[in-house]
Structure 1
Amino acid sequence: MFKIMLIEDDASLYHEIHERLTQWSYAVYGIDNFNLVMEEFAKVEPDLVIIDIQLPKFDGFHWCRMIRSHSKVPIIFLSSRDHPTDMVMSMQLGADDFIQKPFHFDVLIAKIQAILRRVYNYNQPQETSLRTWNGATIDFLQNSVSNAKGNITLTKNEIYILRILVEHKNRIVSREDIMKSLWEDERFVSDNTLTVNVNRLRKRLGEIGLSEWIETKVGQGYIAIEEDLHDD
């Protein structure tokens, strides 16, 4: 089932589109807080995004730029604005199509199906550089971690180690497995260097209140704890 994120603040239109797309067996996700669009995007990892231009806080062009800086997921603009510059701007920002309101739902469905067929051969998912972890957004492309307390930039080794731990969250990852992964990525580190990198990673995460979620398991390795399973 393809996942579609619908960034639309008109509740009645959202529900109508949601109902129609659900009938076509698409999983539709909306936005409750328009300050947290990227957080929701990272959480859902949609296969296609539909965006209105006129939105609370920031317009659709802003969110299109943000999404495009992290992902190649197909984007369709859906707007009542009909000025040619809006359509041109949409295309320049990397949108795949522009549909003007009011529209016929058969047209919307046809365009969605055409884009999904073109983009997803063999139904392979679209990769994204974003991941959420304990309320923070990790951007593996920008080597950054951000939450309400701030934003930090990590070294290539630090972000690589964090990726390994978060991808295996709530499971212990041995030091040997981490070093093997680093070596396979041509990042040659010694046992002592790994210790230094993990300590630096934990210190940097501490700047935004996340150090406690990386734990050392003596004699075993390290573990990235997810908040709801943390005993503290």
Structure 2
Amino acid sequence: MKVLIVEDDPFIAEDLRFEISTRFPSEITDIIGPAHNYADAVSLIHSSSPDLIMLDISLGDDKDAGIRLAHFINQHICIPIIFLSGLPKQLGFDQAKFLCPFDFIHKPFDPDILAEKIELAIIYQSQRKNLGNTDLNPIPGAQNKLMVTTGFNEITAIPVRDLILLEADDKIIRAFTTKNKQSIDFTSPGLKNFYQKNLFMLKDFHRLNRKHVFNLNMVHKIKNNHILLPKIPNSMGNTMDSFFQLPIPKNGDSKKLLYARLGYKN
């Protein structure tokens, strides 16, 4: 098993290398890196094909490099990520959790906790390879659709690939898709609970606020501090009516997280 270290602090990187090589001399065959920035990390991922990535969030002056790198990994490769960060919780864990990491460790790290996390990752990867990298989801197709209650004795399937936006109105959630001119309305205990219950959505969907969860892949553009998402044009053909316009939060951390998840750095 190969581990890639993405860490800009040479002392922490060396501590990680020492602990991993000392505690897992037979399980870890190669420790790659450290990569000090986003570009170096991407290059090492392509050239070395690691099985696990130890990933810092802030790399030098690039404060969200790890977030953007995790987004890239989730989009193109399936490699478990263990985040390590010395950032305050709201700037560290609260950003990283939406990238579905294998785990998260606060710095300065405890060597025993580090070893436990890596041991779990080794077991996870071993089991995964034994299964031939097959999908571990026991219900075929379960992550391709949302099953929602749309009426009395009525359950509707919403294909996730067609879903643009979820909009909450108290206990009612409206689902807007690329296939339906009208929203699909269903009951739910709340948008936050619904989003967290369907954890597979975390990869491609972003909870913007208490009312909106949207598909990151559907973003058309950002204009005047609003996210524009496509919708089926109305009969009037008004250009602006062809887009949902969601205001971006004024909170700097929330805005930074949104841009990082979109893979954009200004």
TM-score (norm 1): 0.49
TM-score between both structures, scaled by the size of structure 2: 0.43
Q: Which has the higher helix share?
A: 1
Q: As a proportion of its length, which structure holds more strand? A: 2
